[in-house]
Structure 1
Amino acid sequence: MKKSLLILALVTASASPVFAQSSVTLYGVVDDGINYTNNTGGHHNFEMASGYGYGSRWGLKGTEDLGGGLKTIFTLENGFDLNSGRANQGGRMFGRQALVGVAHDNYGSITLGRQYDSVVDFLAPTTANGNWAGFLFAHPYDNDNTDNSFRVSNSVKYTSPNLGGFKFGGLYGFSNAAGQFANNRAMSIGASYVGGPVTIGAAYMDVDNIGMGSTGAVAANDASFFASNQREFGVGINYKISQATLGFVYTHSRIENPTGNGYLTPPNFPAGISVHSLTFDNFEFNAQYYFTPTFFAGAMYTYTSGRYDASNGSSKPKWNMFGLVADYYLSKRTDVYVQAVYQKVSASTGTFLDTAYISGADNSSSTNKQVVARIGMKHLF
């Protein structure tokens, strides 16, 4: 009896339990600098500004191998302002991303939570602002969300695996409002192709009652515009030639019945006027050149043709934007950069659109021109 118990104990002790492999990674970006604006509400301004080259953040991402090519994935990502310590994205703890789901090597992933839309996933990487330049280079008022001004809450998203350089996906964000299924819901689809020197991205997004309320797909403290509908589509292409990358992007945005804008402080958005619609057609040309593996320069020109239809008439404002950036890497994780953006608005409308406003400035100019220059530093961890 004792001999049998001893053998059982030895066998039990030598057995190797099988557990699924899992990992959790802490990561982040710290970006800070000094901005100079030549005209903000009629005055020039020097200010400390965090996250303009690349949004300051910290996050946790993890996986658990379930076997057979299937795994559980999650991401929790917080955006913050380095200079004040406050949380960005409306004060949310994990305002940049908060998602959980499953992924398969052959079939792609399905994730649930607060996530990036298809414009950000597939189209934005072909723009200057969504790739190597940052916030200041966004199209006027980030009207197409290529600068990721808002995320989509209550969303389910599918992303395909890489199919020979081709990827596609789609997202649906629920309103979470009982009896109001279409009240602040979002949907988007997109695709991209990366092959040799060519990168192509395209996307479409539609959001109903954007910015209405605090619990929908795109809440009031998250939206760029507050409107009954925001719809946009676009396509972009980058072509690499030796150390240079050339890009062209076209996007179209239409905002129905807008009542406000998240970037503009009152009374900049018109009071007592019913705005029926705003449309923006953005044409961006960008170029990036690596002089050495640790130093690059970039340039962007964007022409935006708009249309304003309201109870006080119609007009067609135009925006011309020029941007330059130079970036030097002190190491693989740390770089310093300088950048400047100029914007001019033409075709006077007699509305809030007459005054220049570069996304990231603390207010619009008192004229139709504005310049913002920045020197900054970024560290990855």
Structure 2
Amino acid sequence: MKKIMMIAATSTTLGCLSTAHAQSSVTLYGVVDAGLTFNSNAKGEKQYAMTSGNASGSRWGFRGNEDLGGGLSTFFRLEGGFSTTNGTIGQGGTLFGRGAYVGLASKTYGAVSAGRQATIQYDFISPYPSGGTWAASGIGYGTHLGDLDGLDNFNRINSSLKYVSPSLHGLQFGADYSFGGVPGQFSQKQTWGLGAQYLNGPLALAVAFNDAYQPNFSFFGSKANDSATANNMTNPAFSGYATARTQQIFAAAGQYVFGKTTFALTYTNTRFTDLGSVNIAGLAARPAGFRGTAVFNIAEGNLMYQLTPALQLALAYTYTHNGNADGVGPAIYHQVNVGADYFLSKRTDLFIDAFYQRASGTDSTGGPAVAAITGATASDSNHQLLGLVGIRHKF
């Protein structure tokens, strides 16, 4: 990391000539990631493509902090995504779409930050599923369907406040709240969340809850080029649920490290409630006759093995069940992720991954469920296979 160190400053107080020195730092950092992807079924056709932000989203940013003394410091981050393949801005045209926030941190009382940032649920749960760690977390291939449970940080929250406590013998907790900003409608487009984690040597446990009011706009529609009237929920597994009044996500995860092996389990329950409550341009109030609440139960096992100091092998399986929306039968999705990551140095690695998904039942469009691996063009059948090779450099 290239660091621009700024050691500053002299302050003179009334009645004395003493000086105090505060230390600040600003870091310029980033990731450049490019790869080649093969899709066995992209709307019925084979697809070969160069893709950006595969193992990690390609990005650049600044982060900094200043020691204010007495255990208090201030910090900030400005981070934007971009496409390695064509140089365009990421996150739907949002310059600092990956994060733009400032805050205060106390060693005694914790940290408070304000701006565009990840949810507390993402902070505490994402270190455990494969889509948040090794399985093409940047482009999303290993992520749960369309990142509907928010564990791969596709959807940051705008105008938010976040609090994270200090660690208390391994226990840490936090909360966030995003202001909707709609005149006369305090709750419209708001989101809020709670989370906690416990870290003790090889054992890690985490739990979180996130609630988004009018999720099509507040959660999935938080980027510059997102629509203020139309459907921002594009994955067919849940695109028909864009009229939901709220999206509620409960997530729990655990991990244990033994020797060279790391094993993690993740469970999420996502509920799209009061279907038909929100008017979405181009989408029927109740597509396919859906009413009530659509529920997704997702369970994942994630296994990572450090074969050598430079080579990591990994395997994950995810089971997804969608049901309880009136008028349709359940949809079931199985996905297997396999990967290998070889580090040429601390900053540069080569990776190869494969992803297979099979679907059955009836999805949110009211038709037969199709395989729809996150970040890829959906299949026109019930199965889909992706292959990916690439290179990543961090600076």
Contact 1:126 1:199 survives alignment (8 Å): no
Go from structure 1 to structure 2 and tell me whether the alpha carbon gap of 1:50 and 1:271 turns closer, same or farther (over 3 Å shift): farther
Tell me if the contact between 2:91 and 2:223 (Cα under 8 Å) persists in the aligned partners.
no
From 23, 39, 63, the equivalent of 2:25 is: 23
Is 1:245 paired with 2:262?
yes
CA–CA distance in structure 1, aligned partners of residues 298 and 55 of structure 2: 21
CA distance change for structure 1 residues 214 and 148 in 2, over 3 Å: closer, same or farther?
Answer: closer
The verdict on how the C-alpha distance between 1:146 and 1:324 changes in structure 2, with shifts beyond 3 A counting, is same
* 8 Å CA contact retained: 2:56, 2:392: yes
The answer for unaligned runs of 5 or more in structure 2 is 1-16, 234-238, 277-281
SS at match of 2:126: helix
AA aligned opposite 1:41? K
Radius of gyration: which is bigger? Answer: 1
- Amino acid of the structure 1 residue aligned with 2:32: V
Which of 351, 354, 360 is equivalent to 1:340? 354
1:256 deviation in Å? Answer: 2.8
Q: Secondary structure at the match of 1:292?
A: coil
Instruction: Return the letter of the residue paired with 1:231.
Output: Q
Hey, which bits of structure 1, 4+ residues long, moved more than 4 A?
213-220, 222-225, 269-272
Q: 1:374 and 2:379 equivalent?
A: no
- Residue range with higher mean Cα deviation, 69-78 or 340-349: 340-349
Structure 2 CA distance for aligned equivalents of residues 215 and 253 of structure 1: 14
Structure 1 segment 287-306 matched on structure 2, within 5 A: 287-306=303-322
What SS does the aligned partner of 1:129 have?
helix
Partner residue in 2 for 1:355: 370
Note the C-alpha offset of 1:132: 2.2
CA distance, structure 2, for counterparts of residue 326 and residue 283 of structure 1: 22
Name the count of aligned residue pairs: 357
Report the CA distance between 1:216 and its aligned residue: 8.1
After TM superposition, list the pairs within 5 Å mapping 1:1-381 onto structure 2. Answer: 17-133=19-135, 134=137, 135-212=140-217, 221=226, 224=233, 226=242, 227-256=244-273, 273-276=288-291, 277-307=293-323, 309=325, 313-348=327-362, 351-352=366-367, 354-361=369-376, 363-381=377-395
Using the TM superposition, name which of 205-214 and 337-346 deviates more.
Answer: 205-214
Is 1:136–1:359's contact at 8 Å kept on the other side of the alignment? yes
Q: Separation in 1 of the partners of 2:349 and 2:336?
A: 23
* Residue 372 to residue 257, structure 1, CA distance change in 2 (3 Å): farther
Q: CA deviation at 1:20?
A: 2.3
Structure 1 348/282 Cα, relative in aligned 2: closer, same or farther at 3 Å? same
Give the counterpart letter for 2:51 in structure 1: A
Contact 1:126 1:201 in 2 (8 A): no
Amino acid at match of 2:341: D
SS at match of 1:141: helix
Query: Aligned to 1:336, what secondary structure does the other structure show?
Result: strand
Structure 1 distance, partners of 2:197, 2:222, is: 24
Gaps of 5+ in 1: 1-14, 260-265
One-letter amino acid of the structure 1 residue matched with residue 163 of structure 2: Y
**Which stretch has the larger CA shift, 344-353 or 26-35?**
344-353
| 1:248 to 1:353, Cα distance in 2 relative to 1, 3 A | farther
Q: RMSD across aligned C-alpha pairs, in angstroms?
A: 2.4
Instruction: Output one character per residue of 1:187-230: Cα deviation in whole Å (capped at 9) or x when no partner.
Output: 01111111111111111000001233899868882964634211
Q: Cα distance, 1:27 vs. partner? A: 0.9
Q: Report how far residue 288 of structure 1 moved.
A: 0.1
Q: Residue deviations 1:150-189, cap 9 Å, x none?
A: 0010000001112222211100000011101111100011
Farther-moved stretch of structure 1 (159-168 vs 371-380):
159-168
Contact 2:270/2:295 (CA < 8 Å) preserved in 1?
yes
Aligned residue type for 1:358: I
How far apart are 1:231 and its partner, in Å? Answer: 0.6
Q: Deviations over 1:267-295 (max 9, x none)?
A: 9x999645334221001011000001110
Judged with a 3 Å threshold, the aligned counterparts in structure 2 of structure 1 residues 69 and 103 are, in CA distance, closer, same or farther, namely: same
